[in-house]
Amino acid sequence: MEEKGKINGVAAMAACYQGFDPAAYLQYNYTPPRADFERKDSIVPWKLACLHRAFTEGDVNGELLVDIGSGPTLYQVLSGCEVFNKVLLTDFLEVNRQELRGWLQGEGGCNLDWTPYLQHVCKLEGRRPSAWPEKAAKLREVITDIVPVDVHCPQPLALDALPSAGADCLVSCFCLESVSPDLAAFTRALGHIGRLLRPGGHLLLIGALGESYYFGGPGVKIPVVPLNEAQVCASLQESGYTLIRLEVYTLPQDMRVGVDDVTGVFFVKARKE
């Protein structure tokens, strides 16, 4: 009975995602005011700064970085692509994998211009913003594939997607809490993705705090597990991670633009035990 409930909850989430619209999602979350590179208190520059710091502290690097639930976005691997030889992007939906393939193949027709993002991360790295084409080329060089993922499966990726040793690092942004029907499923998903990581490897996790829904497109209301910091820490511990750092961002009033009810964002750097 309990097992049936788990399957129903997960199936209901999967059904919600059938209406996900990459273009609308990018517009809602990855344009100003949420992505205003002139403002220090804008949400995207905050996320990029957290990722830049984590990937340049010296302890996070290696052969393979895997991004879990990439969606239609690339910002989360703009720093990591400099310290890993290979980057694997993953998403549950073909429409999102298609969006990422469009950028990778440079065909044009992408729903978002990533140039300001590339320029901003170049600046964080102490390079000229005009070096952005080199960063774009580097990213295209290291992305090895874009593959399906399901964090509710004990084995979230196809068996041959990773080397047997596992990944050296996982990054995952706004995925687990926005695809899980409840806190228990969120914690289980953390455990499932941990199986993709080698012991001692790092997890960089960004997610929403206090969020109960977001719009994945016009009229596509997707439920989210509302999390607080204590729950995030407890779930990490329960799933076999040691917390290194937790940072929290509180959304300024004008960043609450009606596309969700998020109140804050957490950034976690953790290590698999």
- Check binding of 151 to ligand SAM (CB under 6 A): yes
- Check binding of 73 to ligand SAM (CB under 6 A): yes
Residue at shortest CB range from ligand SAM: 71
Measured from the CB of residue 130, what is the shortest distance to ligand SAM in angstroms? 27
Measured from the CB of residue 126, what is the shortest distance to ligand SAM in angstroms? 25
- Check binding of 150 to ligand SAM (CB under 6 A): yes
CA-nearest of 206, 253, 229, 167 to 48 is 206
Measured from the CB of residue 247, what is the shortest distance to ligand SAM in angstroms? 16
CA-nearest of 137, 147, 124 to 55 is 124
- Check binding of 96 to ligand SAM (CB under 6 A): yes
Residue 49 makes CB contacts below 8 A (sequence gap 6+) with 124
Question: Which C-beta is closer to ligand SAM: that of 131 or that of 218?
Answer: 218
Q: Which stretch binds ligand SAM (CB under 6 A): 51-59, 97-105, 150-158, 196-204?
A: 150-158
Quick one: 147 exposed, middle or buried, by C-beta within 10 A (0-12, 13-18, 19+)?
middle
Question: Which C-beta is closer to ligand SAM: that of 112 or that of 122?
Answer: 112
Measured from the CB of residue 236, what is the shortest distance to ligand SAM in angstroms? 18
Residue 199 makes CB contacts below 8 A (sequence gap 6+) with 272, 273
Q: Which stretch binds ligand SAM (CB under 6 A): 53-61, 77-85, 97-105, 172-180?
A: 172-180
- Check binding of 179 to ligand SAM (CB under 6 A): yes
Measured from the CB of residue 38, what is the shortest distance to ligand SAM in angstroms? 21
Question: Which C-beta is closer to ligand SAM: that of 262 or that of 270?
Answer: 262
Measured from the CB of residue 89, what is the shortest distance to ligand SAM in angstroms? 10
- Check binding of 91 to ligand SAM (CB under 6 A): yes
Binding residue (CB under 6 A) for ligand SAM from 52, 86, 152, 198:
152
Question: Which C-beta is closer to ligand SAM: that of 91 or that of 168?
Answer: 91
Question: Which C-beta is closer to ligand SAM: that of 122 or that of 157?
Answer: 157
- Footprint of ligand SAM (CB under 6 A): 17, 20, 69-71, 73, 76, 91-93, 96, 149-152, 173-175, 178-179
